Amino acid sequence: MTEFTPFASLAGGVMIGLSAVMLMLWEGRIAGISGIAGELLPPYRDGAFLSRFGFVIGLIAAPVAIATATGEAIPQTVSSNVPLMIAAGLLVGFGSVWGNGCTSGHGVCGLSRLSTRSLAATVVFMATAFVTVFLVRHVIGG
Amino acid sequence: MSFLVNLALGFLFGAGLVISGMADPAKVLNFLDLFGTWDPSLAFVMGGAVIVAFVGYRLVLARDKPIIGGTFHLPTRNDIDARVIAGPAIFGIGWGLGGFCPGPALSALGLGAPGTLAFLPAMILGMWGARLLADNRVQARTA
């Protein structure tokens, strides 16, 4: 069980939305993490490497800084099944770049731009994720 | 300067992931577990982010250009092709297995969980593979 946290989750979501809006305001780009991270490796097509690198460093620094500032560990339960996590990582990495976006690029930025392409992508990844969890927890694990 | 602005925006994004609970795979997997220990919190993350971006993008895109100049790089495609179905289908399976999508996975690096350290290099490799494969297909088509 995890606790239902509507207010904290809404506040965190607002922060994510603000980050996306300000990135568009600053340099006119979509805050899609799979795009930002996927373009960190060569070949480089544009001059935005330093921007993307900065965004990723900030993303990585935030939890560490919050944990240090509050003196409390960030609640996080990650599976320690290494083969499972490697397989999951490969699927997430390949699928998000192949489909031109993930939860942020299609889910947040695309939906808020009313893109039907992003709506289709979001419906599909939500559906396969729901089915995967159902199979793992209630069919295989059940 | 763009590096520093992006650093701050990445930090804001990462803090949002932590505060919202999205950085915790257990919470993500419970959100995805409709028929078990369902935790609907993450619908509020998505809702909050989309509402802010819906309004914010409209205000920003009323401008001629971004602050640093140039143009707004907006996706122009609106067709639904095989890639925009197959990619998310594959991504969703991985998300359901590990509880990590790309943002939370990266933000988890500094917390150093063994599962994160297994997931991240595989994710980067998968991203790179998809890019190289996509580039190859474009070259094959134009050759």
Could you report the per-residue pLDDT of A82-113, keeping only the tens digit for each?
999 999 999 999 999 999 999 999 999 999 99
Q: Which pLDDT score, from 0 to 100, does residue A79 have?
A: 96
Mean pLDDT of chain B: 95
How confident is the model over B6-18, as pLDDT tens digits? 999 999 999 999 9
Q: Collapse the DSSP code of A101 into the 3-class scheme (helix H, G, I; strand E, B; otherwise coil) and give the result.
A: coil
- Pick among A27, A113, A118 to test the B interface (most B CBs inside 10 A): A27
Question: Which of the residue ranges B25-34, B39-48, B71-80 would you say has the lowest mean pLDDT?
Answer: B71-80
Q: What is the pLDDT of residue B76?
A: 87
Average pLDDT over residues A62-84: 95
Mean pLDDT of A55-65: 97
The pLDDT of residue B60 is above 70 = yes
Task: State residue A123's pLDDT score.
Answer: 97
* Nearest of A125, A109, A28 to residue B32 by alpha carbon: A125
**A88 — contact with chain B (CB < 8 Å)?**
yes
Residue among B29, B49, B102 minimizing CB distance to A37: B102
CB nearest A79 (choices: B115, B128, B135): B115
- C-alpha–C-alpha distance, residues A6 and A14, integer Å: 12
Each residue's pLDDT tens digit, A31-44: 999 999 999 988 89
Higher pLDDT, B83 or B142: B83
* B136 pLDDT higher than 70: yes
User: How much is the mean pLDDT over chain A?
Assistant: 95
pLDDT at B42 over 70: yes
Comparing alpha-carbon positions, the chain A residue that sits nearest to B135 is A43
Angle at A125 between CA A123 and CA A131, to 5 degrees: 100
How many helices and strands in chain B, by DSSP H and E? 6, 0
For chain B, say whether A69 makes contact (Cβ under 8 Å): no
- CA torsion B83-A23-A53-B71 (nearest 10°) is 70
Q: Using the 8-state DSSP alphabet, how is residue A73 labeled? A: P
Residues of A in contact with B95 (CB under 8 A): 88, 92, 103, 125, 129, 132
Chain A interface test: which of B5, B9, B100 (most A C-beta within 10 Å):
B9
Q: What is the pLDDT of residue A128?
A: 98
Phi and psi angles of residue B18, each rounded to the nearest 5 degrees, phi first: -70, -50
What are B68-119's pLDDT values in tens digits? Answer: 999 999 998 889 999 999 999 999 999 999 999 999 999 999 999 999 999 9
Question: Residue written as tokens 């650093």?
Answer: B7
Q: Answer for the pair A72, B25: CB distance below 8 angstroms, yes or no.
A: no
Output the pLDDT for position B143. 64
Rounded to an integer, what distance in angstroms lies between the CA atom of residue A135 and that of residue B33? 10
pLDDT digits (tens, 9 = 90+) for A110-138: 999 999 999 999 999 999 999 999 999 99
Q: What is the pLDDT of residue A142?
A: 58
All residues of chain A having their beta carbon less than 8 Å from the beta carbon of residue B115 are: 78-82, 85
Residue B141 pLDDT exceeds 80: no
